[in-house]
Structure 1
Amino acid sequence: MLTLSSSPVLYPLSDRAVISLTGEDRAKYLQGQVTCDVEQLKLGDASLGAHCDSKGRLWASFWLASLDEQLVLILNHSLVERQLPELKKFAVFAKAEVADTSEKWQVFGLAGEGLSQWLNEQLDGSDNLTPDGGVVIPVAAEHALLLLPKESAAPELPHGDEQEWQGLMIQAGMPDMSQPHQGEYIPQMLNLQALNGISFTKGCYLGQETVARAKYRGANKKAMFILAGNSDQPITINQDIELQLGDNWRRAGTVLSIYQKNGECLVTSVLNKNLEPDAVFRIKGQDDSRLALQALPYDLID
């Protein structure tokens, strides 16, 4: 249904926000707020991560990158209204400033065969930093995010559709939560532990007790899965997904992210881990739709 282009393609992303942290305590401050190990990031490094409330429920999942004199978080724009005040809450006690700087940046997806070689030629061994102060964030094999200052010229590559990028991220098993799911999931439910988005050795951060309990006591029974199938009607974020049980259907989860084209669809959803591989699903209210589990491109560790 969706295949990687035979050469690099640029995907302008309009639904991404950028939050910046500046000040000499920026790394120390963020270290106590998020799941990933901020202090291990060198200039040009990046990591998946999550920001939780005190009970370990997610305000946001994001990509974090270390730039010159600042840290940047790239996340779904719909999360910012509730998440940014929470991230700022304790910054008044540190030499750190937190701000929504989306208007200063452009965010792109990059994907296609030969992307790694193309990036090596463009960056010339500069540790993922672009000459104009931006950064390339490797996401998966031959997939990357590109963050550039607003005034910078975008690479001269063929442009792809934003929805297609979403589909590629679903195929790569990458989580992309949005506002309707804030406060619902712990980080392991979005598979962040399998994607190096959680450090279990870094020390304290908001929600750590819940995250650690899910790992060491087996407290988490859910994970993010990829479903593929068909539906002739539009599918929306947070729409219910039902599991077939004999002649009946039971609610199993909701749509986390969606790619849909020509009646075919890919979705991610947080579901129970103990599902049978041949389980049959449908979109609630779309009785003719059918979805099936797809193999994740990584091991689903606890």
Structure 2
Amino acid sequence: MLTLSSSPVLYPLTDRAVISLTGADRAKYLQGQVTCDVDLLNAGDASLGGHCDSKGRLWASFWLANLGEELLLVLNASLLERQLPELKKFAVFAKTDVEAVTEQWQVFGLAGEGVSYWLDQQLDGSDNLLQGGVVIPVAAEHALLLLPAGTPPPELPLGNESDWRGLMIQAGLPDMQAEHQGEYIPQMLNLQALNGISFTKGCYLGQETVARAKYRGANKKAMFVLSGHAAAPISANQDLELQLGENWRRAGTVLSVYQDGEQCILTSVLNNNLDPDAVLRIKGQDDSRLSLQALPYNLVD
């Protein structure tokens, strides 16, 4: 359905928000808030991560980049209204400023065969800092590019934002939206399989739940990629139904979706013991059919 371009393509993204942390305690403060190990990130480094409530349920999944004197979180813009106040809540006790700075940045997706070579030429063998911004590798031949507002973007062919969403789904990368805040623990979005959770760092908000899911097998769900067909538009949070003989039973909801005509590909959090040959459909679209696709990585506890 979606194929990787034979050369690098730039995808301007309008649905991303950017949060900045500055100040002497920025790394120490964020280390106590999120699932990934902030202390391991040098200037130019990046990581997938999650920000949980005290019960280990996600306020947001995000990409974190270290710019040296500033930490940036890139996330779905719909999460910002509820997530930002939670992230700022304890910052008054630390030497750090936490602010939404979306208008100060341009966010692009970058994908296609040869992206890694193209980036090597642009970065000249240095770290991932570029033109006052940063490159965040997200998958093989896929990256996010953040540039300061007003900086001319690279002269590359432009792609559609919806296509970038589809590429992220095919890569098995989570992109939760506001409808799902407070529903999932990080392992339900496969963050542990994508190096987005550190089980050796110090305490952080929700850590007890995340650790219990790993060491006691408390989590029974995972994020899966499904593809198939549906005649009507699909939106985030729509219910999915699983076929059981002649009957259908609710199985989960749509996390992120890409459609091209009647063809579609989407992510959903489902029971992790689902039969690989399971048949699903969109609730209310009785003629729709979806099947599980192999993830491009191995799920781990």
Looking at structure 1, the residues matched to 230 and 277 of structure 2 have their Cα atoms a distance apart, in angstroms, of: 19
Looking at structure 2, the residues matched to 286 and 222 of structure 1 have their Cα atoms a distance apart, in angstroms, of: 24
Looking at structure 2, the residues matched to 156 and 123 of structure 1 have their Cα atoms a distance apart, in angstroms, of: 15
Looking at structure 1, the residues matched to 214 and 266 of structure 2 have their Cα atoms a distance apart, in angstroms, of: 26
CA offsets 1:85-123 (integer angstroms, 9 cap, x no match): 000000000000000000000000000001110000011
Q: CA deviation at 1:175?
A: 0.2
Q: For 2:208, what is the secondary structure of its paired residue? A: helix
State the one-letter code of the partner of 1:82: R
Contact residue 50 and residue 61 of structure 2 kept, 8 A: yes
Partner of 1:231: 230
Partner of 1:35: 35
Contact residue 79 and residue 177 of structure 2 kept, 8 A: yes
Matches within 5 A, 1:1-302: 1-130=1-130, 132-302=131-301
Looking at structure 2, the residues matched to 68 and 60 of structure 1 have their Cα atoms a distance apart, in angstroms, of: 23
Contact residue 42 and residue 68 of structure 2 kept, 8 A: no
Q: CA deviation at 1:253?
A: 0.3
Looking at structure 2, the residues matched to 107 and 284 of structure 1 have their Cα atoms a distance apart, in angstroms, of: 34
Q: Which runs of no fewer than 5 residues in structure 2 stay unpaired?
A: none
Q: For 1:296, what is the secondary structure of its paired residue? A: coil
Q: CA deviation at 1:126?
A: 2.1
Q: Could you tell me the TM-score, scaled by structure 2's length?
A: 1.00
Looking at structure 2, the residues matched to 33 and 281 of structure 1 have their Cα atoms a distance apart, in angstroms, of: 36
Q: CA deviation at 1:262?
A: 1.7
Q: Could you tell me the TM-score, scaled by structure 1's length?
A: 0.99
Looking at structure 2, the residues matched to 77 and 125 of structure 1 have their Cα atoms a distance apart, in angstroms, of: 32
State the one-letter code of the partner of 1:140: A
Q: CA deviation at 1:266?
A: 0.3
Looking at structure 2, the residues matched to 96 and 228 of structure 1 have their Cα atoms a distance apart, in angstroms, of: 43
Q: For 1:121, what is the secondary structure of its paired residue? A: helix
What is the CA RMSD across the aligned residues, in angstroms? 0.5
Looking at structure 2, the residues matched to 96 and 242 of structure 1 have their Cα atoms a distance apart, in angstroms, of: 46
Looking at structure 1, the residues matched to 142 and 99 of structure 2 have their Cα atoms a distance apart, in angstroms, of: 27
Could you tell me the percent identity over the aligned residues?
Answer: 79
Looking at structure 1, the residues matched to 69 and 161 of structure 2 have their Cα atoms a distance apart, in angstroms, of: 30
Looking at structure 2, the residues matched to 128 and 101 of structure 1 have their Cα atoms a distance apart, in angstroms, of: 20
State the one-letter code of the partner of 1:85: P
Q: CA deviation at 1:295?
A: 0.3
Looking at structure 2, the residues matched to 156 and 8 of structure 1 have their Cα atoms a distance apart, in angstroms, of: 10
Q: CA deviation at 1:232?
A: 1.1
State the one-letter code of the partner of 2:231: D
Q: For 1:135, what is the secondary structure of its paired residue? A: strand
Looking at structure 1, the residues matched to 266 and 250 of structure 2 have their Cα atoms a distance apart, in angstroms, of: 16
Looking at structure 2, the residues matched to 230 and 251 of structure 1 have their Cα atoms a distance apart, in angstroms, of: 18
Q: CA deviation at 1:125?
A: 1.5
Q: Which aligned runs of 4 or more in structure 1 are off by greater than 4 angstroms?
A: none
